[in-house]
Homo-oligomer: A and B are copies of this chain.
Amino acid sequence: MRSIIYTVAFSLAAFPGFADPLPSWAASENKTAIIDFVESVTDPASPDYVTPDARIATFDNDGTLWSEQPLYFQFLFSFDQLRMMGAADPSILTSDTLKAAAKGDVETVVAGGKDALVEVLVAAHSGMSAETYRSSVSEWLTSATHPETNLPYDQMLYQPMLELLRYLRDEGFETYIVSGGGIDFMRVFAERVYGIPPENIVGSSFQASYQVIDGVPTLMKEGELFFYDDKEGKPVGIYRHIGRRPILAAGNSDGDFQMLEYTTAGDGARLGILVRHTDSDREFAYDREGHIGVLDRGLDEGPERGWAIVDMARDWSQVWVSQ
């Protein structure tokens, strides 16, 4: 039996398409760093060997696994949701901000700053059961398309990151999303598109309540913030939800700084990855400035901390998921 296994492994190695766990990553020091890291923590003979139960990898979502321009997709969902909710019952549009959102007037809402965005989020994400909310997101994903690419949102996934998720799982890692986005929002599609099950999603959330309504036990989404899983919140979210420090963390913005800091400060081999959006032709180009996905401190301090700064234009031979 053993000789047969050796033979198979040997034949696969002869075909680079099979042997390369990250085919959409161009040859680069970053690709080498990732593969070297995975090999060092999975080889029982390596001084950096990590037992499978401690192979925890955490990924930001917006801008790391899928796109986030011109606005987080969850905000774009909220605008569409308010349009539908407002059409059914105009009385719910109780402010100029909500009226603007229901008209799809993104500029006016964004001009209102953080308070206006939160108002839109709250209105689109509360006062309904978790089940009703899930159906709305699911329906939206099958019908809405991105204003610039015209792609369905759940096709604006990065093929190289999907390969990385799969590679890690094949090597015994448990993969998690740790995102500032809403936990309920991501759970609708994360298992289907990323292979990451509901229990492995850490995210922001509003309060929830349990009520028996007409005899039916129901989880209701409420309008007050419960947990904001961004910046310092990410290590806190990891600590609460996972209870172990990751050995690999990937993000793309300063909202991920503390997650990478916490992850890479642990003992033994650790890997921090920051995706830098450098590709205006195939995706978008932005980093130090803007209202979404600002990457500033990470660019300054990441290299000296040993984090891999992935240059999308240079390091990825393909951007979007293969259909």
How close is A63's CB to chain B, nearest CB, in angstroms? Answer: 21
Those of A204-248 within 8 Å (CB) of chain B = 205, 208-210, 212, 216-217, 219, 232-236, 239-244
Q: Which residues of B contact A233 (CB under 8 A)?
A: 210
Please state if A198 and B262 are interface contacts (CB–CB under 8 Å). no
Q: Does A130 contact B (CB under 8 A)?
A: yes
Please state if A210 and B232 are interface contacts (CB–CB under 8 Å). yes
Pick from B187, B216, B262: contact of A210, CB under 8 Å? B262
Q: Does A261 contact B (CB under 8 A)?
A: yes
Please state if B187 and A243 are interface contacts (CB–CB under 8 Å). yes
Q: Does A105 contact B (CB under 8 A)?
A: no
Please state if A239 and B208 are interface contacts (CB–CB under 8 Å). yes
Q: Which residues of B contact A183 (CB under 8 A)?
A: 240, 243
Q: Does A40 contact B (CB under 8 A)?
A: no
Please state if A244 and B130 are interface contacts (CB–CB under 8 Å). no
Please state if A235 and B262 are interface contacts (CB–CB under 8 Å). no
Interface residues of A, CB < 8 Å — how many? 32
Residue of B whose beta carbon sits closest to that of A216: B265
Please state if B199 and A244 are interface contacts (CB–CB under 8 Å). yes
Pick from B210, B236, B244: contact of A258, CB under 8 Å? B210
Q: Does A121 contact B (CB under 8 A)?
A: no
Pick from B217, B232, B241: contact of A209, CB under 8 Å? B232
How close is A278's CB to chain B, nearest CB, in angstroms? Answer: 28
Please state if B217 and A236 are interface contacts (CB–CB under 8 Å). no
How close is A226's CB to chain B, nearest CB, in angstroms? Answer: 8
New A-B contacts (8) at CB < 8 Å, excluding given A205-B240, A210-B234: A198-B243, A208-B236, A208-B240, A209-B236, A210-B236, A216-B265, A217-B265, A241-B241
